Amino acid sequence: MIKLKIPIPLNEITKLKVGDKVLLSGILITARDVAHKYMIEQFVKKDPSGADKALFNRLNKYLHEGVIYHCGPVVKQEGNKYKFLAAGPTTSIREEPYQADVMKCFGLRGVIGKGGMGENTLLGCIENKAVYFHAVGGAAALIAQSVKEVIGVEKLDFGTPEAFWIIRVEDFPCVVTMDSHGGSLHKVVQNQSKEKLNNLLGLK
């Protein structure tokens, strides 16, 4: 098991290969569909200004050489503080149109989710020296135990699942399934499955 601290140095990311089991510790930010679309429209397609620029700077503080987590958490408010009750990964492929550009915009070193991502994100991992970490689906309450502190939240008006939650995690368990060298477990599985299906159907 490899233990990594966020922000993750370049030399640590490039050491990682598909299949490596990792425990992440540090500060990461959750972002789903609405958040990714917002980042593209406000940070990538134009130079942010005013309130958008201020938000970019607050997010960039943690995302530069950091990690985005595809997660729509279940959150409980306790006074002025928040606590994660469930923090399972959401399906990552929905962010495929956005992810490579977001990686480049913030200088991300990692993306956490489930189900894998496509060719554009894999190219983004190569070009930006980043990896895709696969988290275990169906273990939302267990994963929430690794969330030790909710540091803050941005764009709560997007709704609880879609907001940017800034969280501190300790020993967050995940597996590298896309690496910075072009390795993709998802691509391997897809090709193997296609080959087996063709064999079953009698196709060459």
- Non-local (6+) Cβ contacts of 108 within 8 A are 63, 65, 66, 67, 68, 102, 128, 130
Give Cα separations from 200 to 163, 179, 193, 195, 203 (angstroms). 45, 31, 11, 9, 8
Encoding tokens for residue 174? 């995940």
Q: For this structure, is 36 an active site residue?
A: yes
Give the span between the Cα atoms of 52 and 45, in whole angstroms: 13
Give the span between the Cα atoms of 36 and 97, in whole angstroms: 9
- Active-site choice (36, 70, 134, 186): 36
Beta strands 110-113 and 81-86: pairing type? unpaired
Q: Which residues are catalytic?
A: 36
